[in-house]
Structure 1
Amino acid sequence: MWHENPWFNVILWFIIALVFLTFFQGGSEFSWPTAGIVGFFFILIFTQVILAGLKLKKLCAPSEEGMFIGEHRFEFDEKGIHSQGKGYSATHNWSVIKRAVKTDGAIYLFLDNAYAYIFPISQLEDSGKFYDYVDSKINATDLSS
């Protein structure tokens, strides 16, 4: 989102600081040492937020030894999607697929708001046929419920 951009936050804090200095200066002289200390404090907070975000990003990345990265096999039938990979096998009924989204590079089958099977178009023989098949299964499930 545009409001999550770090530059937006820097500019926003700068504007807040200018407004604060304009209205609460009280006619006294501007103190550069005080401004430096306050500026250092805000830069320190901003740095801590950036470092926490980088740490969170690293914690959310899949492990090289985990089951998430690697080869997965998918089979589609009338019952649902059957997947198999390193150390797991699963079946998802068509009723749990919330929506299908086709982009320029992939087809996403959302099982939840943030959890999706991602099928790169480069790995599919006929992406249009695949998308139509999946979309018809999802719509058929919606109509029957």
Structure 2
Amino acid sequence: MRPDPHGQAIQGVLRDLLSTRDGTTYVVGKVSGSSIRYDLGGEHPLVGRDAPDFRLEDGTRLGDLMCDGRGVALDFSVDGCLRDAATGWAGRLRYAVGTARNDLGLGAVLVRPDGIVAWAGDRAAGREAFGRAARQWFDAPEI
């Protein structure tokens, strides 16, 4: 910014904005891209956003599972309720099951290869909704 009166006014506004918690959060969200949400048609607020780096109890992180460029189905249920639905797409989708340290109250999530959440389900994760999202994003077969 120029050191002229107009530039000084803008600097003052930015200084005031960044001196507040809400202002700093807003600017960081805009600069980092974390405030971006793509409209993917899902109802859960996490759908269309960058996936958190979920960490399973065994220490495996979502980032570790995504290293081969495939999408990831993380099933946080104890019984692996999406195992049958997800394992048929091994070439397109990686499946991981286990409790997570930070599951955000979810039962499962489907993450695209670009790290965007394509589907998220609560503790009663629905196979039909998961299947629709998998078919849409991974051209997966009907379940």
Decide: shared fold, TM above 0.5: no
Give the TM-score normalised by the residue count of structure 2.
0.27
Q: Which has the higher strand share?
A: 1
Q: Return the structure number with greater relative CO, CA threshold 8 A, min gap 6.
A: 2
Larger Rg: 1
TM-score (norm 1): 0.26
